[in-house]
Amino acid sequence: MLMVRPVHTKKKSPVAKIILIGFLSATMGLLLGSKVTLAAEAGADEVFSRYKNQVVQVRIVEASSRSKSTVGSGFLVSPTGHIVTNYHVVALLIHKPDQYRGEIVHHDDHTSPLTLLNFDAIHDLAIVQSEREQPSYFKFQTESMDKGERVYSMGNPWDLGMTIVEGTYSGLLERTLYEKIHFTGSLNAGMSGGPAVTSEGKVLGVNVASAGDQLSFLVPAKFANGLVEKTLAEPYEKPKSLLLKLRDQLLRHQDAYLSSIISQAWDATSLGPYAVPGKIASFVKCWGSSAQRKKWLYETVTQSCSFEDGIYLSKTLSTGTLQFTHTYVSSERLNRFRFYSLYQSFFQNDFSDDIGKWFEDEEEVGAFRCLDDFVAPEGPSMKVVFCVRGYKKLPGLYDSVFKVATVDNNHQGLQGKVTLTGVSFENAQAFGRKFLENARVSP
C-alpha cells in the first residue's frame, strides 16, 4: 500500500535531552592517567583544598571479576561515615545485590566497603555508609540563593581524580515535576553524586545530570538533607527487598502526581471541531503543528503534550513519563471509504513518536496485551485500544498506552494516544477515562 504521511516535527525542550552521568568504563581513567585539578579562578583552589577530604569516590564492583562497573562521587555528611550520592550510581546494588558490591575510595586512597542505607529514586539520591569515620563533613545550605552566585561542584570526572568545577547558580528549573537546580558549569560523567557547594562550603545541591554546553543540573539540598535526617533518625535495619522499597517509592510518587492531575479540571484546546485536553499540568509541555500540502487530498492538525523527564531505574529501564498526542484528520476531497482507509492507516501506524524508544529488557518487563472495542461516552462514538505491560521486578507498576479514534463522521476524525510509563493499573485506567471524557465535539 502506498501512502504519504505528514511528518510532524516536534520541538524538544533542552530538559528532554539531559543525560545521566555516572557510567564510564573502568579502563577510561587508567588510559588517561594522572590526576587533573581544575581551579579556574581565585576561590576555587581554596574551596578545593579545604573540602576535598570530605569528597569520596563511590565504586560499584562486579563481585566475581572485581572489575569496576560504575564509578561516581559522594560526600560525607556525618562524623560516622554517612555519605550522600546519586541513586543511579548505586542502582546496581538495588537491582542485582548478589552480583555487585560497593566501595568508597577516600581522599587518601583508602578504600572501605560501603553499606547502602537508604535511597530516594524519585530525586536520584542515596545514602551509603563507609566503615571509616571522619570528623570533618559537609553541612547543607538552608538559606535561599540568588541567581548568579558562585557555586563549586566537586567530583571525580572520568575516574581521573578529584576536581573542582566553578560555575553559577541559575535558579530552580521551572515547570518540572522533579525540582532541580540549574547549574551553569560543566559536570562530567563520574561527578554524579558529588557536592555542589557555596564558597562557605555549604552543600546547595548534588551533581546529577548534564546537557552539555555548561548546562548542568543539581538535586536541591533540601531533598538530600531530608533523606539524611530520616536515615540518621531511624536505626538501620536491613530491608527484606530493596526492589520492593523501590517499587513502593515509585507507586507513591505516581499516585501523588497523577491523582492531582486527574482530580483537577483540564484545560481544553480545540482541534478542528473537537475539544481536546491541552496543558493539563504546569510541568507538561505542549506544542502543535498543522500539515497541509498542495498535493495532499487531506490535512492534519496535531497537538502533542508531554512530560519526558523520566526516573532512571536501571540501564535498561526508565520510567515515570507521560505523553499524549491528538491528531485531527480531515478531507473534503476523499470519499468516505478512501477517507477511512487513510484514517485507518494513521491509527495503525503510529502517528507520533513514542517517548524515546520502548525499553525492551525481558528481565524487566512483560509483553503488551491489548483490549479494543467501540466506546461511546457522552461525546462521539469511538474506537478505543488500551495496551498494557507489567514490570516483572516491580510488581504493581505498568506501562500503558491508550489509543482512541472517533468514528462519527465520514470526512473528519480525531485520534488520540496517551502513553504513561511506570504507573499503577488503576491510575492508567483513571487517566485514560478522564482523557476519553475530555475529548468531545465543541459545542
Judged by CB under 8 A, the chain residues 318 through 377 that form the site for another protein are 331, 334, 336-345, 347-348, 354, 357-363, 365-377
3-class secondary structure, 260 = helix
Determine which residue in the list 181, 388, 414, 418 makes contact with another protein, applying CB under 8 A. Answer: 388
Q: Would you say 175 or 392 has its CB closer to another protein?
A: 392
Pick the piece of the chain touching another protein (CB under 8 A) from 103-111, 117-125, 255-263, 405-413. 405-413
Query: Is residue 140 part of the contact set for another protein (CB under 8 A)?
Result: no
Question: Cα-flanking dihedrals φ and ψ of residue 441, to 5°?
Answer: -80, 130
Determine which residue in the list 409, 416, 417, 439 makes contact with another protein, applying CB under 8 A. Answer: 409
**Cβ proximity of 205 and 196 under 8 Å:** yes
Of 34, 48, 38, the residue nearest 160 (C-alpha): 34
CB of 320 vs another protein, minimal distance in Å: 17
Point out which residues pair with 416 in neighbouring strands: 326, 404
**Angstrom distance (rounded) from CA 424 to CA 258:** 10
Q: What is the DSSP letter of 248?
A: H
3-class secondary structure, 258 = helix
**Cβ proximity of 67 and 59 under 8 Å:** no
Determine which residue in the list 1, 7, 42, 233 makes contact with another protein, applying CB under 8 A. Answer: 1
Pick the piece of the chain touching another protein (CB under 8 A) from 131-139, 155-163, 208-216, 409-417. 409-417
Residue 2 grid cell: 502506498
Q: Would you say 316 or 442 has its CB closer to another protein?
A: 316
Query: Is residue 383 part of the contact set for another protein (CB under 8 A)?
Result: yes
Determine which residue in the list 436, 438, 439, 440 makes contact with another protein, applying CB under 8 A. Answer: 436
Pick the piece of the chain touching another protein (CB under 8 A) from 46-54, 132-140, 163-171, 428-436. 428-436
Q: Would you say 23 or 296 has its CB closer to another protein?
A: 296
3-class secondary structure, 25 = coil
Number of amino acids touching another protein (CB under 8 A): 72
**Angstrom distance (rounded) from CA 307 to CA 305:** 7
**Paired sense of beta strands 55-62 and 68-76, if any:** antiparallel
Any idea of the CA torsion for 318, 319, 322, 323, to the nearest 10 degrees?
A: 30
Query: Is residue 408 part of the contact set for another protein (CB under 8 A)?
Result: yes
Site string for another protein, 281-310 (x = CB under 8 A): ------------x-xxxx------------
